Structure 1
Amino acid sequence: MTWTRYAHGQLLLSWKVFWRNRRSTFIGFLLPVLLDLFVAAPLRDKEIGGVSAAGYVTVGFIGLALVTSFVNLLNAVVARRDDLVLKRLRGTEVPPSAVFAGQIGASGIVVLLQAVVLGTISVGLFHAPLPADPALLLLTLVAGYLLFALLAVALSGLTPSAETSPLVATPVLMLCMFGAGVATPLSSLPSWLQGPAHALPLTPVVQALRTAWFGKGFGHESWNGGPLADLSFLHTWQSAGPALLITALWTAGVLLAARRLFRWEPRRA
């Protein structure tokens, strides 16, 4: 069998397991959508930076979908490790890269579905415009997903068991949900929190997603500030460039951590 067929088999298996598990389906697919409807709906008549506040928040929840995918990936990798699935696969002819490609690929498809659902809500329900730069939007989504997928692999090495994975994943989810500007501009946070908030891995991803969607230079917007200027195609990429660079640096660091920390066998072994 070729590498592609091995990866495809792992992808189909991970896809079936995801939808059969009610907990993973809720956290990994429904949670960002439900939270967005709850948080964004009351903001339909408000604006941030000259764009619909509800649409602004909805794009932020597309970013949060990357973190909920991290939660499910972390639990899935640790569970497969503890059940000795990874150990047995390592002893077969299946390439290790195909094992992870299938697992990560399945979760990536879920994230794309969430982005489509949330994007439809943003445009159809909250009257946000269509994405100004779909290519930049997709690049940012893929880059952010890769970052959090590798983070799940890295932290799986520090997670004792599947039962304790929520203790590792929940703090990351909470920090990103409330500190990365998902539902409100970072300028609305206390001044002493704004520095740490900018250091979170999700923050540059959310900023670049909004820049790609609305074609404006987000990053310093506020509830009381005026409209942001529209950017040309080139200036949109220039505005998102620093955020993408920070995301790439985060990804490189997390990749090194994953290579060092990941375990094929249970920690108790």
Structure 2
Amino acid sequence: MRTAGAATGEHHASTPGAGAQGPGVGGVRVVGRRLGALGRAELALLGRNRGVVFTALAVPLLLPFSARPAIDQLDLRKQGLTIGTTLLTAAIGFSFLFAVYTSLVNAYVARREELVLKRLRTGELSDAEILTGTALPALGIGLAQALVLCAGSAALLHTGAPRAPYLILPGLLAGYLVSAALAALTASFTRTVESGQVTALPLMFLSMVGSGITFPTEVMPEKLAAVCELLPLSPAIRLFRGGWTGQLSTGEVLGALATALAWLFLAVFAVRRRFRWEPRR
């Protein structure tokens, strides 16, 4: 498996104008314009795939309610939880998985196989800008979905206001960024868009069962919960749920943030080393 740099050779270092703007505000504006243009183009492509759009928008809203009968059997009050906060956290977790992770696996693989990524690399965009710009629509959908879910849950599920609101944003950012990075990593060893439905399953299954999405880790045996808290999306779920319940100590918050940053660093490092820009034929 070739590394990112080996796929097409030294393509950015000699590109005229790639570093002409230099550091500073001007350079940031140029990067912002590039990302905006790429994000708009990706959003247009995403809008043409109705199946992906439906999955990203509808599944996070519907799946938590399908799991409600099982959740109702849990002793949530003993753990300081309510059905409202549990369903809301489940919906946010499904948003991580469906609005961002699976949709981006499909997007990265499709753009690679269509030679879109390869053509983008011949221009002034850096590898990081290409991957980030491609991810922007999915990340935007996920964050917008989170706002709607929080507002809707407060009105319909009587979740009330979050007791530690300062943990909500870090939890959401951790979940969406880790999901996007892992999507790029999954795409690196996914041959086709169709096979992406299979390569994405391990992370999805582990996250649904072990990260506290379908069942809160608080109701698990202590030793099992300690292991599950190390899964990629567990820190984000823990921070988000803790934002509503206010039950996380400072040490637990720092531990969750450290675990999320570790997964993000590892995923980005692996993507830089292993992401494939050439079609897998």
Are 1:246 and 2:276 an aligned pair?
Answer: no
Q: CA deviation at 1:43?
A: 4.2
Report Cα offsets for 1:136-164 as digits up to 9, x if no partner: 21122112211111111112111112221
Paired position in structure 2 for 1:220? none
Question: Which residue in the other structure is 1:228 paired with?
Answer: none
Name 2:145's counterpart in structure 1: 114
Q: Which amino acid aligns with 1:249?
A: A
Out of 58, 62, 67, the residue aligned to residue 92 of structure 2 is: 62
Match of 1:261 in 2: 274
Are 1:35 and 2:63 counterparts? Answer: yes
- Residues 55, 123 of structure 1: 8 Å contact kept: no
Contact 2:85 2:244 in 1 (8 A): no
Contact 2:105 2:196 in 1 (8 A): yes
Match of 1:175 in 2: 206
Letter in 2 for 1:60: A
Does residue 211 in structure 1 map to residue 239 in structure 2? no
**Residues in 2 aligned to 1:15 and 1:134: alpha-carbon distance in whole angstroms:** 30
Deviation of 1:191 (Å): 7.6
The 8 Å contact of residues 33 and 114 in structure 1, kept in 2 or not, is answered as no
Is the deviation greater in 182-191 or in 126-135? 182-191
Aligned 8 A contact 2:170 2:239 in 1: no
Pick which of 138-147 and 57-66 moved more: 57-66
Q: Residue 20 of structure 1: which of 31, 48, 52 is its match?
A: 48
Q: 1:15 to 1:43 in 2, by over 3 A?
A: farther
> Does structure 2 retain, via aligned residues, the 8 Å contact 1:59–1:119?
no
The count of corresponding residues between Structure 1 and Structure 2 is 250
Report the equivalent of 2:82. 52
Aligned equivalents of 2:240 and 2:226: distance in 1? 20
Query: Which sits farther off after the overlay, 198-207 or 37-46?
Result: 37-46
| C-alpha distance in 1 between matches for 2:277 and 2:195 | 17
Q: Contact conserved, 2:59 with 2:94, CA < 8 A, in 1?
A: no
> Quick one: which amino acid aligns to residue 234 of structure 2?
T
CA RMSD of aligned residues (A): 2.5
Mark the CA change 1:195 to 1:130 in structure 2 (over 3 Å): closer, same or farther.
Answer: closer
* Kept after mapping to 2: 8 A contact 1:44/1:52: no
Q: What does residue 126 of structure 1 align with? A: 157
- Change beyond 3 A, Cα 1:46–1:130: farther
Identity %: 31
Structure 1: gaps of 5 or more residues: 218-234
| Equivalent runs, 1:150-165 vs 2, <5 Å | 150-165=181-196
1:267 Cα offset (Å): 2.0
Give structure 2 stretches of 5+ with no counterpart.
1-28
TM-score, structure 2 length as denominator?
0.80
CA distance in 2 between partners of 1:56 and 1:76 (Å): 30
